[in-house]
Chain A
Amino acid sequence: MDIIPQLILNSIIAGAIYAMIALGFNLIYGTAKFFDLGYGALTAVGGYAVFYFYKTLGLDLYVSILLGVLIVGVIGFIVYKLVYSPLRKRKSSGMVLLVAALGVLTALQAIIAILFTSQFQTLSQNSSSEQVFNILGGAITQTQLVTLIIGFVIMIVIGLVFRYTLFGKAVKAIGDDEEVSKIVGVNTENIIGWVFFIGSAIGGLAGILIGFDTGIEPTMGLSLLLKGVIACIIGGIGNVYGGVLGAFLLAFIENFGIWHISGEWKDAIAFAVLILFLLFRPHGILRK
């Protein structure tokens, strides 16, 4: 089997996952303007919710996934209402919100570990018998193919919502100037609540898809979040399209970077790219 088509395919798959993470993160960051570390833990919440419904309760696969996504969205919304919203009303600084978000991350991870143990779990039933497709000389599993398709569908849907709906305009307006949005009658509190719901649900879905592809563990969120954040920074933080662009760029650099070396170098390469961007192009590729 040729290596280059496989590397390209791997990059696209990883890119789709990173893009989803980046999309959710950027949505929240661009609107609420703080670094939501807790968002990372929500990917694990999604994975474990599906684990519970699908594996423990034995519900239908699609019902489980739907419930999982909804639950992550609702938890994201509740966390906003209970933690971030009161702090933002008090005009707390970004640092206070960051620490609060760190608390949310730690608490959610701990709760998952208490409920499900810290053991690595996988969501797929029988991974050995999974269908493998050949595309352009590279191998891709059914799960990965589904991940790709879902990833692209989400990107397109979010893109369309932002471009064409009044909700999308309101979200952009809040990101631009929240105070003025209030003055002109945009219901900022409601809209930010929805942004947390939608952003969290996207992150949760990414976690679920990873759970089917490789597996889940309570602490999976932080490294995923960091990849999403790197994608956002190199693409252009706060810019929804920038995040997606950065995600694929990052995935390609990572996967081609380890062409001749061991896979453990992936993270080192990702952070090296981050540092280079922070030094030489801190606004990312697409400026907001």
Chain B
Amino acid sequence: MWKNREQMPILETKHITKHFDGVYAVNKLSINFEAGKITGIIGPNGSGKSTLINTLTGMIPIDSGEMIVAGAERLQRVKAHEVASYGMTRTFQDVRLFEQMPVIDNILVVLTERSIWKALFEKHGALHLEKAEEVLKKVGLWDKRDELAKNLSYGQRKLLEIARVLAMIHCGVGDINIIFLDEPFAGLFPEMIKIVTGVMKELRDQGKAVILIEHNMDLIRELSDHIYVLDSGELLAEGKPGDVLARKDVIEAYLGE
């Protein structure tokens, strides 16, 4: 099936299924995500987009099916603490930060040395601060570095989550290659949207697989190289955004609702 490494998807799902009380949130879903591409996932509310990401990042267990990371690692289940070591990270639809910690600490903690012994005695070094400064400046939160995360505005909180992803890529465990963004644009001002789209394009150009869940069709069209349309936990359509978004069944299921 795969011809060479270049075209091999970095993450595949095979018949992933998850149901809650008899309702299939995700039903035998087999889709691929490729490196160096932005893959959009769209679908009406309750179509299983977030559930899919939650299963793939170990937040909830998979009922059946498996995921294949980098064509090699076949996983029936993934645990939340292993997600980063498989090269994956994510943001959350309902932004999840370390609320009681200052903005800069939210970033520094991601840069924590994996060796506890070192971390125990090591003050965050100049290198860590430099990285933290770099990612916070990128999202425009450097001036807010000493504020508690809970005191940020909604949009700033979303940006901090993006900065945390960037920090993981810079200095986290292993290489982060797969980045799930769950509605990163919701509630953002236009200039903030520009920052996030910039970051996403940069990640794509660095060869990362960026997976975008989004309701804003203009942004999906602008950013996605490939999209999947989910409906009731099943795959309704896939392909180039221009083609897929013109399909009648897609419009009926989603856009025309």
Contacts and interface: CB of A to CB of B under 8 A. Distances in A.
Interface in B70-115: 79-81, 83-85, 89-90, 92, 96-101, 105-106, 108-114
A170 B115 CA distance: 12
Q: Chain B contact residues (Cβ within 8 angstroms of A): what range? A: 35 or more
Contacts, number: 102
A130 interface: no
Contacts of A173: 98, 101, 105-106, 109
A164 interface: yes
Contacts of B110: 184-186
A257 B27 CA distance: 66
B23 interface: no
Contact of A180 (B79, B96, B100): B96
A142 interface: no
Interface string A28-51: 000000000000000000000000
Nearest to A164: B123
B105 A185 contact: no
Contacts of B83: 182-183
Interface in A158-207: 161, 164-167, 169-170, 172-173, 175-177, 179-191, 194
Given A180-B98, A182-B83, A170 B89 contact: no
A281 interface: no
B172 A166 contact: no
**Taking chain A's interface residues, is the majority helix, strand, or loop, or is none over half, making it mixed?**
helix
Nearest to B164: A184
A176 B149 CA distance: 11
Nearest to A160: B123
Given A166-B111, A169-B109, A185 B100 contact: no
Contact of B112 (A167, A176, A177): A167
26 contacts: A164-B123, A166-B109, A166-B112, A166-B122, A166-B123, A169-B124, A170-B112, A172-B100, A175-B100, A176-B100, A176-B101, A177-B98, A179-B59, A181-B109, A182-B79, A182-B80, A182-B81, A183-B80, A183-B83, A184-B89, A184-B164, A184-B168, A185-B85, A185-B168, A185-B173, A188-B81
Interface of A: 161, 164-167, 169-170, 172-173, 175-177, 179-191, 194, 288
